[in-house]
Chain A
Amino acid sequence: MRDIKTKLVILLGVVLSIVVLYGFLYLEHEWEIGLLLVALPVAILVLKRTNMLSDYQQAARAMPKLTLSSFIVGVLVLIILLRDEHFALLMLTTVMLYVTVSLGLTIQFGFAGLVNFAAIAFFGIGAYSMAVLNHHFNALPDLLIILFSGLASAFLGALLILPILRTRGHYAALITIAFGILLRTFLEVNDVFGGPQGLKVDGLEILGWNFSNSFPSLLGGGSFYMAYAITALLLAAVAYLFTRLIEASWFGLNMDSVRLDEVASASFGINAPRWKITAFMLGNFFAGLAGAIYAAMSGFIAPASFNFADSLLLVSIVLLGGIGNAVAVIPAALLIVVLPEKFQVIQEYRLLLFGIVVILILRFRPSGLMPRGLRQYFPGSST
């Protein structure tokens, strides 16, 4: 009986979130979105007051597999509902790619305590690898190319490992900032990579299915973005699952202890450099994978799309959500990616606004909108 109730609570939560998400993506008028944005916090407050939110949280904690799979199904339904809306699908895909990168940052920042202000550079390395590999090695299956792009990003990032390991905190920040700026300069002056004009990227073709065509009518037809949206959903889901598994396992425990006190964890026999390297490379791998899919989807990439400001935007997502909380990056990414698109007025001012928001969060609520909970040593336990 209790089991069924838990399941119902989870399903209800998923359905509710998908409905809100649908409204958020589908509505076009600014007043409608504004209304939604006003209604949402009120609704959350009501749910919190009536203890329904904590019921849901407990249920989700008790059955994480069911929660995740029903969310995936929910987003799939959402994609099908939005099948003719090019723009909504594009936004949804971008959100999911950003979620993937932010999950990488969560592993780096949140777990291992490594700062990385070059997230967009690693995203860019993935995108450029996709462009180059897909063009020159057309015979390779595209799934393999996506994997290679992620690996390229991880291994180019490995160049920074030595300086990052030898330094700490601010210095590591400087190294990643410098790396991001340098990479952009390098791409801009290098003719092999198309210089400032950038490169054209061929669309994906997986198992003989060309993603650039519109969705097969056999399956109901729809925008060609549908295929990318589904790919991005799978990627984000796998990245999420992976992040959660890392967090729950001794991997995450070791990373947490390295972040909290390097000397103490070293004296417990934890090899701090090893965990830092693991976290750094994993995070960059995620960014590279997302970048590869982004490149294939947009069909064109240029150095100008990989600005330092975008790295800051990704950091803002992680901070806004709550450092180290993997679930929190999803609503945060939604807000940061979709809001400026919906309110054309703030599009121009978005960096300014997000900068101010992050300053306020750091000043008054440093743990973010959804702070990371305490570690659960036994699944289902209430603490």
Chain B
Amino acid sequence: MDLGFFAQYLINGLVQGITYALVAVGFTLFFGVLDVIKFSHGDVLMLGAFTALALFLGLDQLSTPAWLSLTIMLCLGTLAMALVGALLCKFLVLPLKESPPLNTLLITLMFGSVIREAVRLFFPNGSNPKPFPALLPETSINWGNLNLRLDSVMLIFTGAMAIVLTHLFIQKTRMGLAIRAVAQDEETARLMGINFNKTVLMTFALGSGLAALSGISTGLYYQEINFSMGLMLGVIGFSAAVVGGLGSIYGAIVGGLLFAFLQTLGAIWFSVPAYKDVFAFTVIIMLMAWRPTGLLADRSSERV
């Protein structure tokens, strides 16, 4: 294959992979602290993208410059979703801590479908795909067969930065230490004077903020969002987290990139575009059957 084409696929795959990794990091965080899967994660992502869109429509009236709108959208969208994540955790997830895990799974799944339906019904004309503003510079460099778009580079950079910052936050700060302590052993962490509820809420806020970020970058990249985008992205993000190994941030990154790689491979092999997902999921399900703890599991197989 031509080197230019190869590089093109590589760049596109990287943009996708970073988006998936952002979602997967959220799943990994939640699972780490509370051993729960928040199935509404994808829909929180979608809600983040729609919040950003609503903010843009508002700011557009005031004719704010693009860079300023983008900053506001990113900050407020992320914060709003962090709040949603924390509220979800406080009112739906923590109260069910003692009940069977199936109930937590169902309640978050249903919360997700409530968000999805609410956006479809109450966002103006919400059942149709919405154009998302192209706020990033549209410059691109042509280099042989490679068309390097500046916005792709910016998205990859932002996503990678977000993951690195999350990693630093968890490894270097006191709060991060608390998160790691709770993840390792809840009771001991409590005995050491760590505020369990606060730590868990913080983790949910962090993960949901990351989801909003990936929702907004998906919108910026494809310039279109719709109410059901979260379902697929959520399932992909979860698969990525599982394949990488739940509980490990590196695993989430590896899983996200792997999924994007599989999709790209599927897109090259099959003429029908929809088969790329079928292909990627089939491989992922096979991988899960082969190594249920994930490729980079951080702890014992207790998790499976």
Contact = CB atoms under 8 A, between A and B. Distances in A.
Interface of A: 109, 113, 115, 117, 160, 162-163, 166-171, 173-175, 177-179, 181-182, 185-186, 188-189, 308-309, 312, 315-316, 319, 348-349, 351-352, 355-356, 358-359, 362-363, 366
Interface centre among A185, A186, A189, A355 (most CB of B within 10 A): A355
Contact of B103 (A166, A174, A355, A366): A366
Contacts, number: 105
A113 to B, nearest CB: 8
B110 A182 contact: no
A163 B117 contact: no
B58 interface: no
Contacts of B239: 174, 178
A312 B109 contact: yes
Contact of A169 (B99, B101, B117): B101
Contact of B106 (A162, A181, A319): A319
Interface string B231-244: 11001001100100
Contacts of A319: 106
A171 B235 contact: no
Contacts of B109: 117, 312
Nearest to A164: B289
Contacts of A160: 285
B6 interface: no
Given A170-B37, A308-B231, A348-B121, A355 B272 contact: no
B107 interface: yes
Contact of A170 (B105, B277, B289): B105
Contacts of B12: none
B304 A171 contact: yes
A168 B304 contact: yes
Sorted nearest first, the 4 A-B pairs with minimum C-beta distance are: A352-B117, A355-B114, A163-B289, A170-B37
A167 B292 CA distance: 6
Interface of B: 37, 39, 92, 95-96, 99, 101-103, 105-107, 109-111, 113-114, 117-118, 121, 231-232, 235, 238-239, 242, 272, 274-275, 277-278, 281-282, 284-286, 288-289, 292, 304
A258 to B, nearest CB: 14
Nearest to A351: B117
Nearest to A163: B289
B66 to A, nearest CB: 35
B95 A363 contact: yes
A365 to B, nearest CB: 11
A362 B114 CA distance: 14
Contacts of A312: 109-110, 113
A195 B275 CA distance: 13
A115 B114 CA distance: 20
Contacts of A162: 289
